[in-house]
Amino acid sequence: MPDRLHFFDLDRSQLEAMLLDLGLPRYRAEQLLRWVYQRQVVDVDQMSDWSQSDRQLLREHLQFCDLGLCAHQSAGDGTQKLLLTMGGDGSDGGLLPQASSDGERTTECVMIPASNPDDTMRRTACISSQVGCPVGCRFCASGLGGLETNLTAGQIVEQVWHLQQVTTASGAPGTPGGGEAGGRISNVVFMGMGEPLANFEQVTRAIRTLNADWGMGISGRKITVSTVGLPTPIRRLAELQIPITLAISLHAPNDVLRRELIPWADRISIAELIDAARHYFAQTKREVTLEYILLREVNDRPEHARELAELAGRLRCNVNLIRYNEVKGLPYNRPTSDDVQRFQHVLRKAGVNAHIRASRGRDIAAACGQLRHERPR
């Protein structure tokens, strides 16, 4: 039924309007939102407070899932990776693998479990905003095949819903506290495939649904948008009025080296990025995160750390240091632990709040920089 609307693409007012057009009362929208977002149910036959005739209307006018599960991998540390193919009919809620062909478009998303200092569990959904990536960072798998298409707001939100399904079913085994099924996704990071701010309208629509109390109900402070750095969209993002975290993928402390690593850096200088980041903080009062992939003997020397410390001193920010995660066929190596610690020490000595991010899911190619546009197998 090609004329059916995608449920996850609708906000509450749009869903109410659609149901009113079908002759259904307004309260039906609230019931439907509860079934899908709170109870994780998309099978209309399970919606016990709907009559048979009303369920049939839903089947005829709504497509609940547009993404079908093509592959599901579990890492030894509890990380879960999904390969999703476009064109799922939602009949099984996306939990069962679906047949697929070589011509279908796919995207990947990841759920990363971790323990908080208070022993509660943090479950982070790392999601994609595009199929492939247009930026083409030299060290990243996501852009190897270029950009194929933007994802819709509904497809972006649906990734989090699928990850919640898997999290509820599996309880993220292998992680302290992870065997407890039923935990909720607590954080969302736009750090999967794609450049989120190059798909601005769909990404910001998705953020509103993820944040809404009628939607996924995830605090804005637990939503992070990671960008290679597009100054104009960064300024627009500051007007969203949802206190999300902005992360800028810097990866080099000077323009010459950054242009070697990131093709889009030819268009935008680091000075322009710092200016946009300062604007973002002024508007939102949210500290910006500078992300820095450490490539062995490329950008991980003490002189690079000193340059980065000088940049970080120009704005309210913290720095996430990320060890390079190997990608087959690319000419980069993972830095040594000693070099990573030395790099962090230089930053901290200069007064920079610098953290080393743990690599999660490396054994299933789910770590930072390893997600790619795969063909279904």
pLDDT tens per residue, range 66-97:
999 988 989 888 899 999 998 755 444 544 44
**Residue 141 scores a pLDDT above 90:** no
Cα–Cα distances (Å) from 276 to 166, 234, 280, 282, 286, in that order, read 37, 6, 6, 10, 13
- Helix ranges restricted to H, the chain: 12-21, 27-33, 52-61, 153-170, 200-211, 231-237, 255-261, 270-284, 302-312, 337-349
CB 226 within 8 A of CB 178: no
Is pLDDT of 115 > 70? yes
The tens digit of pLDDT for each residue in 267-290 reads 999 999 999 999 999 999 999 999
CATH 3.40.120.10 given to domain 67-364: no
Q: What tens digit of pLDDT does each residue of 312-324 get?
A: 999 999 999 999 9
| pLDDT higher than threshold 80 for residue 192 | yes
What's the pLDDT at 179?
Answer: 38
At 2 the pLDDT is 52
pLDDT band at 360 (very low <50, low <70, confident <90, very high): confident
CATH 1.10.150.530 in the chain is located at 5-63
Is 351 a residue whose pLDDT tops 90?
yes
- What average pLDDT does the structure give for the chain? 89
Domain ranges in the chain with CATH number 3.20.20.70: 67-364
Largest CA distance in the chain: 70
Query: 257-270 pLDDT, tens per residue?
Result: 999 999 999 999 99
- CATH fold of 5-63 reads DNA polymerase; domain 1 (1.10.150)
Catalytic site residues?
Answer: 108, 368
